[in-house]
Amino acid sequence: MWILHLDLDSFMASVEILRHPELADQPVIVGGNGDPTQPRTVVATASYAAREHGVNSGMPMRTALRKCPDAVFLPSDMPAYEAASAQVMAVLRDFPVTLEVWGLDEAFIGTDTDDPGALARKLQQAVLDKTGLTCSIGIGDNKHQAKLAAQFRKPAGISTLTSADWVEVMGERPTSALWGIGAKTTKKLADLGLHTVNQLAAADPAELATRFGPTNGPWLRYLALGKGEASVTDTPWVPRGHSHETTFPRNIADHAIIADHVRSFARRLAAEAVDEGRTVIRVTVKVRFVPFITQTRQTKLESPTTDPEPIESAALAALARFTLDRPIRLLGVGVEYTMPRSA
């Protein structure tokens, strides 16, 4: 079986350009309410014209404004992006493949075709013809390889990365090039003298286990060897929980205001659990203090429920276990659901 990873190019920005064709040749940045001067908002997506100025997803909007002052800044419109994503996935489901949706803008595709490149070209063309969106596709023996390959020739490219050419293509790249290895782990690996994929692949598993834990350590080497999940499933993903959070424009310290936000989040989550036919078993409160210290507290419910009263009480009980002696910049509440027996 071949595995393909389809990644929609600068998805949110591309959807906005479809809605506003006059923006086609301009740098477009999507995020927050569209006001780049608003504090503590980040870039959700930047068009490729904006990326040429050094703007990337996750960057503070104020930084994006400094890097690209002539950009068009637009607010996020999640319903529009969800609708566009649904269109794309419907196009893909018309093909005789196994489709595993991984988010609004990406999916893995399993196929037994003898010519995955030809299939990739057909998928790209169908998505473009029916939705107006472009995508990049990676082809591999497993999900890890396909995910990496999809980034090689963006936008609108097709690339292949397999076990046969893994060492040649990836061996001398930095460990941060691997899917799932972020900046913190990269630094820790560098402290061990492991800077490249080849060096990590040749590392002592016991030493990695000591440094990163008995599960994570070997998993890092597993990635460096080009390994990854080699199956695709079309079974719908069932979330274990849901959460809401907000970053305040200005730090808050008033305990009553903090509690009101927690109550509001808890009741909103209870209503959403009813809408989704799920029951809540655990509530978590997340607080990010100034300057950037994040803590969580959790409360387990006496029995699964969708009743907003015990969910709110559990959230407030979790909040009470924080020492609120400093202003906070972010507040969130999450719930964990009971899982269906078949999930």
CATH number at residue 284: 3.30.1490.100
Do residues 139 and 24 share a domain? yes
Considering 147, 162, 177, which residue would you say is the last residue of a domain? Answer: 162
Q: Give residue 205's pLDDT.
A: 93
Q: How many domains does the chain have?
A: 3
Q: Give the active site residue among 16, 100, 106, 312.
A: 106
Are 183 and 156 contained in the same domain?
A: no
Could you tell me if residue 230 is inside a domain?
no
Domain membership of residue 233 (yes or no) is no
Token pair 């269906």 is found at: 340
* Residue 74 lies inside a defined structural domain of this protein: yes
231 is a domain residue? no
Q: Which residues contact 301 (CB under 8 A, 6 or more apart)?
A: 280, 281, 282, 283, 310, 311, 314
Whole-structure pTM value: 0.81
Determine the pLDDT at residue 343: 44
Looking at the domain assignment, is residue 232 inside a domain? no
Tell me, yes or no, whether 11 lies in a domain.
yes
| Residue 123 and residue 271 share a domain | no
> Are 188 and 325 part of one and the same domain?
no
Residues 96 and 187 in one domain: no
Q: Is 302 annotated as catalytic?
A: no
**Which residues of the chain fall below pLDDT 50?**
343
CATH number at residue 186: 1.10.150.20
Residues 6+ apart with CB under 8 A from 324: 253, 255, 258, 287
| 134 within domain boundaries | yes
> What pLDDT is stored for residue 92 in this prediction?
98
User: For residue 101, what is the domain's CATH number?
Assistant: 3.30.70.270
Q: Residue 241: what pLDDT? A: 94
The pLDDT, as a whole number, for residue 14 is 97
Residues 157 and 184 in one domain: no
Residue 135 within any structural domain of the chain = yes
- Domain of 183, in residue numbers: 166-224
Q: What is the pLDDT of residue 341?
A: 64
Are residue 178 and residue 142 in the same domain, yes or no? no
